[in-house]
Amino acid sequence: MNLKLATFLTFIVFTLTAMAQTSEWKYMNKGNRAFENKDYSKAELNYMNVLKQNPSSPEALFNLGNVQLGKNNAKAAYDYYEKVLQNSSDTILSAMTCHNQGYIYQATAMSSTQESERQKALRVAIDHYKQALRLNPKDDNTRYNLALCQKLLKDSQQESQQQEQESSASQEEQAETQSEQNLQENRDDKQTQQLLNLAKQAEKKAKEK
């Protein structure tokens, strides 16, 4: 079950052509190369320099989100992606951003040990993937992750239902066992009382003699 993440690589061509040989272009290019080499600290520094040139650069914000994912900081990544959606007018970039937000929640779900938390995260992931497909219906990676999430959610719901049934059956079994124990205790009490009564009667007859 490999998750598919939308990365900045789609935008290398964009940054090389649209920015010309500006300082913004140079920082973005350096950041891209550093990211490819998994030098996330250097990539982050260069993308931050892009933001100094253009504080609302959706491409830099998107790449910074991916940098944070590379550093396993999902919350910071999600926050950067939110800023992308606030500043981007590019449909494809927005779709990739929604995809990556879904990726974050899908990864959270797959690492959760609680079925309720797993289902909650999967539902959010599904919503993000659906939004990504609305923006870019041709994205097969998003379609793949969406289908995987839907299957995981269905499996998790079935697991929860089975656990509830097993729990209910266990409770019924415990109730039946308790009822049988109570009946046996009542029988034992009656037998004990009968024995006591017989003993008293025998003692009374012995005294009368």
Under 8 Å between Cβ of 28 and 44: no
Burial of 173 (0-12, 13-18, 19+ CB in 10 A): exposed
Under 8 Å between Cβ of 126 and 145: no
Confidence band, pLDDT 50/70/90 cuts, at residue 181: confident
Q: For the chain, what is the mean pLDDT?
A: 83
Confidence band, pLDDT 50/70/90 cuts, at residue 124: very high
pLDDT at 190 over 50: yes
Confidence band, pLDDT 50/70/90 cuts, at residue 8: very low
Neighbours of 64 (CB within 10 A): 26
The number of angstroms, rounded, from the C-alpha of 127 to the middle of its chain's C-alpha atoms is 12
Q: Which two tokens stand for residue 40?
A: 């996330």
Neighbours of 102 (CB within 10 A): 28
Spatial CA neighbour of 7 closest among 73, 59, 56, 52? 59
Angle in degrees, CA 11, 14, 20, rounded to 5 = 135
Choose between 34 and 1: higher pLDDT.
34
- For residue 80, which amino acid is it? Y
Choose between 207 and 89: higher pLDDT.
89
Confidence band, pLDDT 50/70/90 cuts, at residue 202: low
Under 8 Å between Cβ of 115 and 163: yes
| Mean of pLDDT values over 92-113 | 93
Q: Which two tokens stand for residue 116?
A: 């309720």
Confidence band, pLDDT 50/70/90 cuts, at residue 160: confident
Q: Is residue 182 classed as helix, strand or coil in its secondary structure?
A: helix
Distance set, CA 143 to CA 56, 84, 126, 133, 138 (Å): 29, 21, 10, 7, 8
- Over residues 9-57, the pLDDT tens digits come to 434 334 444 555 688 889 998 999 999 899 999 999 999 999 999 999 9
Q: For residues 82 and 65, what is the distance between their CA atoms, to the nearest angstrom? A: 9
| Mean of pLDDT values over 111-124 | 93
How much is the pLDDT for 12? 39
Q: For residues 88 and 172, what is the distance between their CA atoms, to the nearest angstrom? A: 57
Choose between 114 and 16: higher pLDDT.
114
How much is the pLDDT for 172? 64
